[in-house]
Amino acid sequence: MAKQNDSSSAMEIDHNPNSSDETNSPRFSINVLELFKSAQKQHGLRNSDYTRYRRYCTARLRRLYKSLKLTHGRGKYNKKAITAPMVTDVRYLHVILYTAERAWSHAMEKKTLPDGPTARQRSYLIGRLRKAVKWATLFQELCAIKGDSRTSFEAEAYASFMRGTLLFEQEQNWEVALKSFKNASAVYVELGKYGDEEIRHLCNDRVAEIEPNIRYCIHKIRGSNLQISEFENLGEMEGPALDMFRAKMEAVKSEARSQRAASMKELNWLGHTFSVPNAKARVAILKAQELEKDIHGPKADSTPADKRVNIYSKIVSSYEEAKNLIHSDLVTAGNSDNVKDNLSGLYKAISAIIGQLNIERYELMVNTAISKLSKVDGDRNEKVSKPEEVVHLYSMLLLVTAELSDLVSSGRDRKPEEVAVAEDCDRKSLVFKAARCFYLAKSYSLAGKRTEAYALYCRSRSLADAALQSLRSVKSPDQVMMKELQRLYNESRSNSCIEHALAVMEEEEAPEKLSKKISAVSLNGAKKPEKFLLENLDVYESAVDSSVKSMARIERFPPAFQAFARNPVVLDIVYDTIDFPSLESRTKKDRKGFLGRLWR
Tens of pLDDT, residue by residue over 481-503, are 888 889 999 999 999 899 888 88
Number of other CB atoms surrounding residue 286 within 10 Å: 21
More confident residue, 588 or 22: 588
Q: Measured between alpha carbons, how far is 5 from 235 in angstroms, rounded to an integer?
A: 29
**Span between the terminal Cα atoms of the chain, in Å:** 107
pLDDT of residue 252: 55
- The residue-averaged pLDDT of 403-420 equals 82
Does the pLDDT of residue 145 top 50, yes or no? yes
Cis peptide before 304 (omega within 30 of 0): no
28-31 contacts at long range (C-beta below 8 A, 24 or more positions apart): 28/87, 28/90, 28/93, 28/143, 28/146, 28/147, 28/148, 28/151, 29/147, 29/148, 29/150, 29/151, 30/90, 30/93, 30/143, 30/147, 30/151, 30/154, 31/154, 31/199
- The residue-averaged pLDDT of 428-443 equals 91
Does the pLDDT of residue 199 top 80, yes or no? yes
Helix (H) or strand (E) segment spanning residue 39: helix 32-42
Return the SS3 of 88: coil
pLDDT band at 129 (very low <50, low <70, confident <90, very high): very high
More confident residue, 540 or 326: 326
Q: Are 563 and 524 in contact (CB under 8 A)?
A: yes
Which among 83-97, 113-127, 203-217 has the top mean pLDDT? 83-97
Q: Measured between alpha carbons, how far is 187 from 158 in angstroms, rounded to an integer?
A: 9
Q: Measured between alpha carbons, how far is 334 from 231 in angstroms, rounded to an integer?
A: 45
Q: CA-based angle 495:498:499, to the nearest 5?
A: 85
Q: Measured between alpha carbons, how far is 198 from 31 in angstroms, rounded to an integer?
A: 12
- The residue-averaged pLDDT of 119-133 equals 92
pLDDT of residue 150: 84
More confident residue, 336 or 473: 473
Does the pLDDT of residue 528 top 60, yes or no? no
φ/ψ of residue 478, rounded to 5: -75, 115
Does the pLDDT of residue 459 top 50, yes or no? yes
pLDDT of residue 136: 93
Percent of the chain's residues with pLDDT above 90 = 18
Does the pLDDT of residue 251 top 70, yes or no? no
- The residue-averaged pLDDT of 79-99 equals 89
pLDDT band at 96 (very low <50, low <70, confident <90, very high): very high
pLDDT band at 230 (very low <50, low <70, confident <90, very high): very low
pLDDT band at 163 (very low <50, low <70, confident <90, very high): very high
Cα 421 to Cα 293, 348, 402, 431, distances in angstroms: 22, 14, 12, 15
Beta-strand ranges (E) seen in 243-329 are 266-269, 272-275
pLDDT of residue 13: 39
What is the sign, positive or negative, of the torsion defined by CA atoms of 171, 172, 174, 177? negative
Does the pLDDT of residue 296 top 80, yes or no? no
pLDDT of residue 401: 92
pLDDT of residue 93: 92
Q: Measured between alpha carbons, how far is 51 from 74 in angstroms, rounded to an integer?
A: 27
Count of residues in the chain: 600
pLDDT of residue 235: 43
pLDDT of residue 11: 40
More confident residue, 133 or 17: 133
pLDDT of residue 4: 42
Does the pLDDT of residue 543 top 60, yes or no? no
314: CB partners within 8 A, 6+ apart: 291
pLDDT of residue 368: 87
Does the pLDDT of residue 476 top 60, yes or no? yes
Q: Measured between alpha carbons, how far is 423 from 29 in angstroms, rounded to an integer?
A: 73
- pLDDT tens-digit series, residues 39-88: 988 988 888 889 999 999 999 999 998 898 887 767 676 777 888 888 88
pLDDT band at 552 (very low <50, low <70, confident <90, very high): low
Of residues 356, 326, 343, 346, the one with CA closest to residue 272: 346
- The residue-averaged pLDDT of 180-203 equals 83
Number of other CB atoms surrounding residue 512 within 10 Å: 9
pLDDT of residue 63: 92
φ/ψ of residue 275, rounded to 5: -80, 145
Task: Return mean pLDDT, the chain.
Answer: 79
166: CB partners within 8 A, 6+ apart: 126, 129, 130, 132, 133
- The residue-averaged pLDDT of 112-135 equals 88
* Minimum mean pLDDT range among 299-303, 315-319, 540-544: 540-544
What's the half-sphere exposure (Cβ side, CA atoms, 13 Å) at 427?
Answer: 18
More confident residue, 235 or 174: 174
- The residue-averaged pLDDT of 262-277 equals 79
Q: Measured between alpha carbons, how far is 354 from 316 in angstroms, rounded to an integer?
A: 6
Does the pLDDT of residue 98 top 90, yes or no? yes
pLDDT of residue 21: 43
What is the sign, positive or negative, of the torsion defined by CA atoms of 316, 322, 327, 330? negative
φ/ψ of residue 269, rounded to 5: -150, 115
pLDDT of residue 5: 43
**pTM of model > 0.85:** no
What's the half-sphere exposure (Cβ side, CA atoms, 13 Å) at 94?
Answer: 28
pLDDT band at 126 (very low <50, low <70, confident <90, very high): very high
